[in-house]
Amino acid sequence: MTPFAFLKSLSVKIQDVLSVKADPKEQIKKGLMLLMFLALGLPILVLNLMADFYYFWMNNFRSNLKKIIIDKE
C-alpha cells in the first residue's frame, strides 16, 4: 500500500499547488511543500512500513500471549 499512499498524496499535493492562483507567496509555499514531500515522503513511508513490520512480528510471536486473552467465566 506504500506506493499507492505515496501516489495518492502526491496527486493531492499537485492539485493543491495548481489550485492556488490568488497569492504567489502561497503558491511558492505549496510548491516547496510538494518538493519536500517528493524528497522525504517515500523514505518516511518506507521507514514507517519497517516499523509496522517489526511490531507486527513482535506481537505475533511473543510468548506471553495468554495475558491478553480474556477467558469467559
**How much is the pLDDT for 71?**
66
> How far is residue 25's CA from residue 34's CA, in Å, rounded to a whole number?
14
Domain ranges (residues) in the chain: 2-63
> Which residues have a Cβ under 8 Å from the Cβ of 21 and sit 6 or more positions away?
27
Distant-in-sequence, close-in-space partners of 45: CB < 8 Å, separation ≥ 6:
2, 5, 6
What pLDDT score does 8 carry? 92
Q: How much is the pLDDT for 39?
A: 92
> Which residue ranges of the chain lie beneath pLDDT 50?
none
**Tell me, what's the pLDDT at 22?**
67
